[in-house]
Amino acid sequence: MGTQVINHQVKEETLDFPSIPPGFESCTDFKMKDNRNTSTSSVTTIDPAPETAKPDVVHVYDQDQKLRRSSRRRSEITHKRFDCSSGDESNSNSFDHIDQISRSRLPKGVIRGCEKCSNCQQVTAKWHPEEARVLNLSEAPAFYPTEEEFEDALQYIASIRDKAELYGICRIIPPSSWKPPCPLEQKNIWENSTFATRIQRLDKLQNRDPMRKIFRPSYHKKKKSRRGTKAGFDHESNGSNPVVHVADFGFEPGPCFTLDEFKKYADDFKRQYFRKDEGTWEPLVENIEGEYWRMVEKPTEEIEVLYGADLETCTFGSGFPAESFQFSGSDEKKYVKSDWNLNNFPKLQRSLLKYERSDISGVLVPWLYIGMCFSSFCWHVEDHHMYSINYLHWGAPKMWYGVAGKDAVKLEAAMQKHLPNLFAEQPDLLHKLVTQLSPSILTSEGVPVYRCIQNPGEFVLTFPRSYHSGFNCGFNCAEAVNVAPVDWLPHGHDAVELYCKQARKTSISHDKLLLGAARDAVKAQWEINLLRKNTSDNLKWKDVCGKDGILSKALKDRVEMERVRRDFLCKSSKSLKMDTNFDSINERECSVCYFDLHFSAVGCHNCSPEKYSCLNHANQFCSCSSGSKYYLFRYDMGNLAILVEALEGKLSSVYRWAKTDLGLYLTDHVNKDIPQSIKSPPEQEKDFLKSGSQNSRSCTDNSDVIILSDDEGDDEDKKLTSCRTNIPAFLACGTHQEAQDSSSIKERCNVELLEFGVVQSGKFWCDNRVIYPKGFRSRVKYLDIFDPSSTCYFMSQILDAGLGRPLFMVSPEKHPSELFIHLSPEKCWEMVRERIDHEILEQQKLGKLNLPPLQSPGSLDGMEMFGFSSPFILQGIQSIDRNHVCEEYWESRTFKTES
């Protein structure tokens, strides 16, 4: 959910740090009544609070007083509730003083606690309907998935994204059958489990004076917090006198409640505040909205409300059932595994967050939000600009306001324009989640804002970099978490760049997510193209690959950025291979800008072994000489280029990456799929290897095995110069070309040797005609299988399928996914001929001209097309079998000589 830093605040005479409730908003079926006829204005501006005497206030702090801060909690960090010592003040001197702070004094509207009870309240403020701030806003869209559509959460979100993302926010109303049981409503939890609250001052959310900066002469060097903590001091450097903002506005810790106690407290506040002379009544949502913005824009009293925000479900419990839940019926168990159970949502099959191993609270582990009337979540975007999803378990509606990601910059500019003093003092104000600005002001500045009213049982979805805010209309309970489908990647990359410029902590490793997705996508490509495993999960990855695929583009852009940095900033002589576990236990980030170091890092032999920087700050992270620096790379640029090519669809790169990085070997699958009882070559040729006579694109039999050689070539320009070193010296003179006779092709057929390969022992690796070396490769031009009116190059290869005998493969270089494989070279090329004849007939039906005649059966000699009729090639193969390993072939040679 939203990035939040709970900073020190000055509330009257106290100094404190609070955190902010990040929320997820949605829209509902609730219809707003139009009260504009009874309102004085539909668009408001900030009215100054009434001026009162400004007393001189001097704050003196004890030397041992601790400045408290709250952080976004992570599972690996142990936190005390609302009280984490910064560790920076233990040896510091007392503050000299704080300059006089100007405040507008408002009468108390809520008096909390008494001598007998700390959780009681007296509400002296009263609703002013005649001064309601009515908002003239459009409603965000609502979507109603069917039972079938609701099964796959991320697929459904992808289906509505183009329409909903324009609003930045939307509601998703589940089918009527969606009724998950809520464990929080169980009696023992309702009455006994306690949670902490935060105190929110509504009158200070928009209209407040900036806090004054104070100096601490002996302030020590700042202590960096770990990734994922969303809090910390805000520091500036001013010559030799560091400045610390000790008075950033925030939300104070409040009292603890059980759910039962908080419901009574929240209901009592709402009853007292909206009381009428004729008795208690229930205000409408538009009444609450108008009064809320009146108090935010033009407060007449101090209004304090409480919010149970950011409650960790791993501690307090989730509103969704787990395996341990006591189900009343067997049909309720489906909710444990449901995509829409927010405990499952972050790590669904196509959410990139599944590649993050740690359980980051609020990002991968949901947070609970227990609200009361007017409790607020202020304008913010999600960490790393991720999606967020919020479910309202029960209670009063939750009001949301959303701004689309494309208008985020406009919102930021409008807030800086209308709150200049606050931003001047605290440039990262929007990261703190403590500031509201009326949607009326935003719309007057050309920022489209959309309203969304979330009712119980409904989801609210916010999109990448969508600003959102809102408040609760009464006692309720919601749960929220983040998700990062593949289409989030460009937004996440932009967020990382922005965080780096701001020297802001990250909460996840963007590169780790990107690389994890790329590796899984290549595996899917490998299974689709080489094993014909067209499973639904594999095909979903295929949708984001290819040259125009969003995953391919994201990785290509990231690799290009890495290449530029390495070319200009690194010395290859100092490059080392990064350990695979470099950041598996301890997160690694640049000590200067906090950039994630999953791809590369810079270290220093003279400094701490735990201190690193990104490539951009190799000269800034320590004062040691450049000679002491070294560079760590997870992959070299060549390997990253192969990964990009694999995602874009280059079959040879898919094969190479799968083999070298993923440890996938085709022979493992061939051994499983090809019958082992086959004894003789004629029996082996009975249809268990298929490929050529049918267009492989129409192949639907997932049991077909398509095999690629361990020595699969790269591009057309790979010639004899790439052959192995065991090529005879008298043959290492360039490519060999020999004329081939053909009754169907008038032009000369030139066979080009690429690699001789390695001879193998065994009776099937030769016959009385020729030796078949493993890894043999040749190249020849023939009719294009998709455009027979032209020609293209074909690669002929000999493979080892692990059966003690060779397999022969032919593939057109222009169409690497089209493979023709069999147990004999003749049959391979016969399948090529049949495929071309099929295409000629199809194009003749379409009336295409200038097509060649059909190639008659037997017109193509597979041995010749492989090059085995060439004396040059035959002599070369013989010369590499000096020890006569292929006995059957040499015995036949001896017999011919004798006879």
Q: For strand 142-143 and strand 169-172, is the pairing parallel, antiparallel, or unpaired?
A: parallel
Q: Is 47 a domain residue?
A: no
Domain that holds residue 573: 510-662
Q: Is 739 a domain residue?
A: no
Same domain, 517 and 609: yes
Same domain, 524 and 432: no
Q: What one-letter code names the amino acid at 392? A: L
- Total tally of structural domains belonging to the chain: 3
Encoding tokens for residue 679?
């004894």
Is-contact 444 136, C-beta < 8 A?
A: no
Q: Is 111 a domain residue?
A: no
Same domain, 564 and 636: yes
Is-contact 780 737, C-beta < 8 A?
A: no
Q: Is 34 a domain residue?
A: no
Alpha-carbon gap, residue 252 to 594, rounded angstroms: 29
Phi, psi of 381 (to 5 degrees): -115, 165
Q: For residue 38, give Cα distances in angstroms to 132, 281, 290, 499, 549.
A: 9, 20, 11, 46, 53
Would you call 683 exposed, middle or buried from its count of C-beta atoms within 10 A (0-12, 13-18, 19+)?
A: exposed
Mean pLDDT, 10 residues at a time, the chain of 899 residues: 42 39 40 41 38 36 33 35 34 36 68 77 87 92 96 95 97 95 91 93 89 43 36 36 51 91 94 79 92 94 93 89 75 88 89 83 84 96 95 97 96 94 88 92 96 97 97 96 94 92 88 94 87 84 91 95 86 80 84 91 87 90 87 92 92 85 66 39 38 34 39 37 35 35 42 90 87 92 91 91 79 85 88 90 88 85 90 87 87 62
Is-contact 738 564, C-beta < 8 A?
A: no
The per-residue pLDDT for 896 is: 53
Residues 6+ apart with CB under 8 A from 95: 59, 60, 61, 214, 216, 246
The residue from 662, 686, 706 where one domain ends is 662
Alpha-carbon gap, residue 107 to 228, rounded angstroms: 39
The residue from 629, 662, 695 where one domain ends is 662
Encoding tokens for residue 836?
């071309």
Q: Is 691 a domain residue?
A: no
Q: For residue 21, give Cα distances in angstroms to 365, 431, 545, 607, 629.
A: 16, 12, 38, 40, 43
Same domain, 518 and 442: no
Q: Using alpha carbons only, give the angle 602, 506, 364 rounded to the nearest 5 degrees.
A: 130
Alpha-carbon gap, residue 443 to 729, rounded angstroms: 80
Domain with 398 in it: what CATH number?
Answer: 2.60.120.650
Helix ranges (DSSP H) in 626-689: 637-648, 651-660, 666-673, 681-684
Same domain, 562 and 444: no
Would you call 890 exposed, middle or buried from its count of C-beta atoms within 10 A (0-12, 13-18, 19+)?
A: middle
Same domain, 450 and 516: no
Same domain, 528 and 475: no
Alpha-carbon gap, residue 871 to 730, rounded angstroms: 13
In the sheet that holds 138-139, the strands lie side by side as: 138-139, 450-454, 398-403, 467-472, 376-380
Q: Is 260 a domain residue?
A: yes
Alpha-carbon gap, residue 283 to 301, rounded angstroms: 20
279: left (phi over 0), alpha (psi -120 to 50) or beta: left
Is-contact 347 354, C-beta < 8 A?
A: yes
Same domain, 541 and 411: no
Helix (H, G, I), strand (E, B) or coil at 388: strand
Q: Is 387 a domain residue?
A: yes
CA proximity to 250, closest of 472, 435, 48, 72? 435
Is-contact 371 472, C-beta < 8 A?
A: yes
Alpha-carbon gap, residue 4 to 382, rounded angstroms: 9
Q: Is 713 a domain residue?
A: no
The residue from 644, 662, 680 where one domain ends is 662
Encoding tokens for residue 749?
């057929």
Same domain, 789 and 880: yes
The residues that bridge with 111 in the sheet, in sequence order, are 122
In the sheet that holds 600-604, the strands lie side by side as: 575-577, 629-633, 600-604
Is-contact 793 654, C-beta < 8 A?
A: no
Give me the DSSP letters along 831-873: HHHHHHHHHHHHHHHTT--SPPPP--TT-S-HHHHHTTT-HHH
Same domain, 409 and 539: no
Alpha-carbon gap, residue 232 to 778, rounded angstroms: 64
Same domain, 441 and 297: yes
Computed over its alpha carbons, how large is the radius of gyration of the chain? 35
Q: For strand 304-312 and strand 194-201, is the pairing parallel, antiparallel, or unpaired?
A: antiparallel
SS (H, E, C) 261-303: HHHHHHHHHHHHHCCECCECCCCCHHHHHHHHHHHHHCCCCEC
Same domain, 451 and 384: yes
Q: For residue 517, give Cα distances in angstroms to 31, 587, 844.
A: 42, 19, 44
Domain with 891 in it: what CATH number?
Answer: 3.30.160.360
CA proximity to 613, closest of 624, 597, 637, 599? 597
